[in-house]
Structure 1
Amino acid sequence: MTDTTPARRSGGEVARPGRDAKPPRRSVLPAPGQGFGLTFAQMFKKVTTEEYPFEPKVTKPRYHGRHVLNRHPDGLEKCVGCELCAWACPADAIYVEGGDNTEDERYSPGERYGRVYQINYLRCIFCGLCIEACPTRSLTMSNDFELADDNRRDLIYTKEQLMAPLLPGMEAPPHPMRLGDDEKDYYVRTPNPANPAEPVVGEKV
């Protein structure tokens, strides 16, 4: 068993490591010489120069930049106006007003859609809690970081500014729901034939 008793001096005084430690070695050069020596050493190190804004800065793939409201393959909006992103935002930067879909005027596959959607980038701290709270994977964050402006009103982004652009094959809503084959399993899940006991999404277990 190792002895953890602190060492004692000849007079019975307990030796203190902090007081008995040797003082650090001091440089023989005066303070100005030490400072210039540090500067001189930096002259031989590789210099990292970014040519921004002439060359765009490459961000990491999971960089938290400007938000994007995504669409389904047929062009309908993924946002269902549930307001969970607004509730999850710690900076109170998101404002959402939901609206009801009808068969004649449908903007999303659900019963509701985001009629009004605003993000105040004067408050947003880019924490990503809003995208984690989104149940339909509608809200994501892009790599766009150029959000500076000289007008406070222009930093409140509206739904039209946040919506993802229409890709080839997409139709601007409102229109009837025409989901592609790659999106059907997202809403309706049939039982697995290999494992019939596996519960179906939405089924109480």
Structure 2
Amino acid sequence: MAEVKKLKRPELDTGEKLYLLALAKGAMVTLKHAFKSVTGKARGADSLNSSGLGITMQYPEQKWDDQLPEHYRGAPALVTDEQDRERCVSCQLCEFICPPKAIKITPGEIPQDDPWAKVEKRPKEFDIDMIRCIYCGMCEEVCPEQAIYLRKDYAITGTSREEMVHNKQKLYEIGGKRVGLVNKWNELK
């Protein structure tokens, strides 16, 4: 059996018990930053085009759009190909992999008289609850047809929960067209 050692905590003096020194240090840091922001010398004030007092960005007049990193992941959207055909084949991989379960897909059949009937199905309904979405990018990574992309949009607002559920039509509207090879239209596939 291992030996147990009892450690004795060091005794605190009266100043340490009252935390006076810690409070004074915190107040000095706060006053230093306040003085720099009033004089217009705050760190980052120039790069953010701030109002001059501090580095507070004046949203919505000023936005992060030019300063977003290349790898930024925003809101998901569905895209079409050059001929306005749906890329999504309702494989439901994005629905299954979504950690917060924000995606709901109802598959639908493509009529036999459709010129693109080679494809088995397309989504009848495709909903993404933007309140639940955590912008993780897993839906984009798992999509075999490159039908869902994360945009660089961070300002998604609505006045009700119903407005925050983006349906198929809205997702295609905000996603737009994506140029490039689409596996499901490939004749060799």
Measured after TM superposition, the shift of residue 40 of structure 1 is 2.9
Measured after TM superposition, the shift of residue 38 of structure 1 is 1.7
2:131 paired with 1:100: no
Measured after TM superposition, the shift of residue 112 of structure 1 is 1.2
Q: How does 1:154-173 map to 2 (within 5 A)?
A: 154-163=163-172, 164-165=175-176
2:43 paired with 1:36: no
Measured after TM superposition, the shift of residue 184 of structure 1 is 7.2
Match of 2:162 among 139, 153, 160: 153
Question: Residues 12-51 of structure 1: CA distance to partner in whole angstroms, max 9, x if unpaired?
Answer: xxxxxx99xxxxxx99xx5354343222322334232212
Match of 1:183 among 181, 184, 187: 181
Specify whether residues 120 and 106 from structure 1 end up closer, same or farther in structure 2 by C-alpha distance, changes over 3 A only: farther
Specify whether residues 107 and 160 from structure 1 end up closer, same or farther in structure 2 by C-alpha distance, changes over 3 A only: farther
Aligned to 2:48: none
Name structure 2 gaps, 5 residues minimum: 1-6, 9-14, 37-41, 44-53
2:126 paired with 1:117: yes
Equivalent residues of 2:78, 2:176 under 8 A apart: no
Measured after TM superposition, the shift of residue 89 of structure 1 is 1.0
Measured after TM superposition, the shift of residue 100 of structure 1 is 1.8
Aligned residues between the structures: 158
Aligned to 1:49: 56
Question: Residues 82-114 of structure 1: CA distance to partner in whole angstroms, max 9, x if unpaired?
Answer: 111111112111111112223533578722111
Name structure 1 gaps, 5 residues minimum: 1-17, 20-25, 168-179, 190-201
Equivalent residues of 1:79, 1:114 under 8 A apart: yes
Question: Residues 47-70 of structure 1: CA distance to partner in whole angstroms, max 9, x if unpaired?
Answer: 322121012222223322121111
Aligned to 2:148: 139
Specify whether residues 106 and 119 from structure 1 end up closer, same or farther in structure 2 by C-alpha distance, changes over 3 A only: farther
Measured after TM superposition, the shift of residue 76 of structure 1 is 0.7
Aligned to 1:173: none
Task: Report sequence identity in percent.
Answer: 23
Measured after TM superposition, the shift of residue 81 of structure 1 is 1.0
Query: What is the TM-score with the length of structure 2 in the denominator?
Result: 0.67
**1: CA distance, partners of 2:147 / 2:131:** 22
3-state SS in 1 of match to 2:181: helix
Measured after TM superposition, the shift of residue 183 of structure 1 is 2.8
Which has the larger share of helix? 2
State which structure, 1 or 2, has the greater radius of gyration over its C-alpha atoms. Answer: 1
Q: How does 1:72-111 map to 2 (within 5 A)?
A: 72-105=81-114, 110-111=119-120
